[in-house]
Structure 1
Amino acid sequence: MKIRRILATAVAAAVTTPVVFLSAAPAFADTKPAAPAQTQEQQPTIDQLKKDVEAAQKAYDAALLTVEELIEALEAFSKPEHELQVALAAAKTAAAEAATKKTAADAEVVEAQAALDALAPEATPEEKAAAEQALTDAKTAAAEAATAKTAADAEVVKADTKIDDERVATARKIGEAQKVRDGALKTLNAAKEALKKAEEEAGEEEPPPYEDCFPDEKFTSVVTGLPSKVVAGTTVEFKLTLTNGTERTIDEAYAFVALNAFDEKGLKPLDKYLDLEWNSGGTWNDVPVAEELPVGTLKSKTSADIKLRLKVDADTPAGQGITFSAGDFWNEDGTCGGTPDLTEYEFDILAKGSTPGKVEDAKGTPGTKNTTQQGATSTTPVTNGTLAKTGSSDANAQLALAGAAAVAIGAGAMIVVRRRKAGADA
Structure 2
Amino acid sequence: MNLRRTLATAAVAAVAAVTAPAVLLSASTAFATPKAPAQTQQKPTYAELKKAADDAKKAYEDAVAAEKAGREKIKTTMEALDQDSHPLKAAYLAADKAAKAADADKTAADKAVTDARAALDEATDEDGKAKAQEALSAAEAQAKTAADAKANADAERRVAKDAWDDANVAAFREWNKVLTASAEARKAKDAADKALAAAAECVRVPGLTVLANRLPAKVVAGTTVGFSFTVANATDRTLDVDPLVFFRLNAKDQEQHFMKVQWADGAGWHELDSNSPSHPMHLKGMKPGARTEVKMRMTLEAAAPAIDGFALLAGDASDAYHPCVLGPMNNYPLKVLPAGSKPGTVGDAKPGKVEDKDRPKPKSTPAAQAGSPASAGSTASAQPASAATGGSLASTGASPAVPQLALVGGGAVLLGTGAVFAVRRHRGARGTH
Higher helix fraction (1 or 2): 1
Structure ranking higher on relative contact order (CA contacts 8 Å, 6+ apart): 2
Q: TM-score, normalised by structure 2?
A: 0.40
Q: TM-score, normalised by structure 1?
A: 0.41
Q: Which has the larger radius of gyration?
A: 2
